[in-house]
Amino acid sequence: MTENIDNKDVKDVLNEKIPAEKFAFVQENENLHDIELQTKARGFFADAMIRFRKNRSSVIAAYILLFLILYAIFAPMISQYTIDDKDPMYVNYPPFVPETAKYGFINGARNMDSQNEKSMDIWYGIGEETGMNPVIKILGTKEVQEKYRGQWRTRTVYNIKVNMYYALGIVYRNFRYEDYEKLQQWQNETGIQVIYPYVDPQEYPGAAGNPNIWYQVDNASNAKKDKDGNYVPAYMTDESKAGAPYNSIRIKGDDGSWVYSYAKSGSVQCRICYYNFYIYQNGHEPSYLMGTNVMGNDLFSCIGLGARFSLIFAVLVSAINLSIGAVYGAIQGYYGGAIDMTLDRISDILSGVPFVVVTTLFQLHLAQKVGVIPSFLFAFVLTGWIGMAALTRKQFYRFKSQEFVMAARTLGASDWRLMFKHIFPNAIGTIITSCALVIPGVIGSETSMTYLGIVDLSTYAGTTIGTLLSQGNAAATSAPHAILWPSVFLGLLMICFNLFGNGLRDAFNPTTRGVDD
């Protein structure tokens, strides 16, 4: 009806406007029966999941958390490196993947400032000798004034981007005679040059401190060049000083007179290209997706290994604290009175003990008897269950006076049956979801203890996120990636666990939405 019914009675209006013949029974002369519900029954869990999916931030956090857990499980498996693979030369080196380096990313780059002409000669000399030019790009140049031998002169300095893996260039290595022969044989089979002609340090003293100086230099230690601008080699030609015969491939330009080793006591010394020598030792090129740490380990596998330990340890601690706290809190909440008061005072005393003090004392005394990891676990369990006990206590006070509990008591149910058969299942949703909020707290505490060096788990767990952060912190200015990747992983893990836990709590108990316990 579109007309306004100001002060008229509704019944009068209907009788007046709608004729009686328009009224008819819809189901006249029909047998009526109950109709089966057309929709499926929805349980509590399904209803909670619907509420959870509406929380977009928690859903996104759940997917990220799943990715981080899968990374922790599979990264150490798929990596070609283990925790024992340590390269003393590639320490705190930036990320490098040979397959992508040719396209300009993940190319092991590091910026080098204020490089003079002598340094540029070394960089370009490495590229000319080994065929792997470390200079990726010249970022800029500037003219500076300096006083040299009483006179002012102008020189050019360069800011460049360098591939650190190529920049290592040539290094000195001593070999036993049989190892020297094996290396030559490998060169012949693969065609990869590892051994390079030797430079006599007595004839060219500048080469003694830097094996990458393979060319002649002037009095200012700058490279001598011919009329075409090419380096003038300073390779040794005195066969009497050779450490052992060389019967392998020779570098371009060698007329057969250059010597490839130098005699040492019981061994031979060589100039080797370390990049190719790495291939000889490991069977593949160096490839570090996240770079290396101060120990020369692959960060990609180390972060996965450390995260795996942190997750397992946190879940174990949460499970133990859940079990202890659930029983303790159930007794408090069910019996109440003097029992609740006594147990609550015990909790108050334990909660006042600083966690750092407990961990330190356990590591100093208990770890010698039971081991580092068990003593660290005891430190978490000593006070970690208190929060879970308080939560369980509140839930028992909430449910113990409900009608279903009174009915079970009337039928003769024992106290333990009432506690764990009737009351506890109704509180389990809130208790379990709180575990998702406990896990990041355990991970944060474990990381803090290992970062500060109070607990050293490297011997037992291989490494931890806290240990990686501590190592990266020492080289934060020169190798920022060493602290960046562990920090990113830990930050994502903590944030996502908290968002995921809050989402579960709101889904299983909507009355607590937006409220922090």
DSSP labels for 398-426?
HHTTSHHHHHHHHTT--HHHIIIIIIHHH
Which residues, including other chains, have CB under 8 Å from residue 430's CB and lie 6 or more apart? 391, 395, 505, 508, 509, 512
Parallel, antiparallel or unpaired: strands 109-115 and 151-163: antiparallel
Residue 188 sits in the same domain as residue 322: no
Residue 123 sits in the same domain as residue 160: yes
- Choosing from 167, 182, 198, the residue where a domain stops is 167
Range of the domain at 386: 299-512
Tell me the average pLDDT across 510-516. 55
User: Using CA atoms, how far apart are residues 408 and 398, in angstroms rounded to an integer?
Assistant: 16
pLDDT tier at 210, thresholds 50, 70, 90: confident
| Side chain identity at residue 428, one-letter code | I
Looking at the structure, do residues 351 and 461 belong to the same domain, yes or no? yes
Classify residue 68: in a domain, yes or no.
Answer: no
Assign residue 347 the CATH number of its domain: 1.10.3720.10
Whether residues 334 and 262 fall in one domain: no
* % of the chain at pLDDT higher than 70: 90
Q: Are 188 and 249 in contact (CB under 8 A)?
A: yes
How many helices (H) and strands (E) the chain has is answered by 21, 7
Q: Are residues 344 and 416 in the same domain?
A: yes
Confidence label for 204 from pLDDT (cuts 50, 70 and 90): confident
Burial 33-50 (b: 16+ CB within 10 A, else e): eeeeeeeeeeeeeeebee
- Tell me the C-alpha distance between 121 and 225, whole Å: 10
Model confidence at 428: pLDDT above 90: no
Give me the chain's average pLDDT, please.
Answer: 87
The residue among 150, 167, 184 that closes a domain is 167
**What integer pLDDT is reported at residue 16 of this predicted model?**
61
Say yes or no: 163 and 174 in one domain: no
pLDDT at 400: 85
pLDDT of residue 419: 86
At residue 517, the pLDDT reads 45
Q: Does residue 405 lie in a domain region?
A: yes
Q: How many CB atoms lie within 10 A of CB 369?
A: 8
Same domain, 148 and 182: no
Q: Where are the beta strands (DSSP E) in 51-167?
A: 109-115, 135-148, 151-163
Least confident of 1-10, 315-324, 350-359: 1-10
Flag whether 480 is in a domain.
yes
Q: So what's the pLDDT on residue 217?
A: 85
pLDDT, position 301: 94
- Pair 49, 500: CB distance under 8 Å: no
Residue 384 has pLDDT above 80, yes or no: yes
Averaged pLDDT, 369-397: 89
175 and 187: one domain?
A: yes
Domain end residue (candidates: 167, 189, 216): 167
| Structural domains of the chain, count | 3
pLDDT of 30 > 80? The answer is: no
Q: Are residues 379 and 467 in the same domain?
A: yes
Quick one: 317 and 416 in the same domain?
A: yes
pLDDT of 3 above 70: no
| Res 310 pLDDT > 80 | yes
User: 496 and 355 share a domain?
Assistant: yes
Tens of pLDDT along 125-161? 999 999 999 999 999 988 877 766 667 777 889 999 9
Q: What is the pLDDT of residue 405?
A: 86
The answer to whether residues 208 and 333 belong to one domain is: no
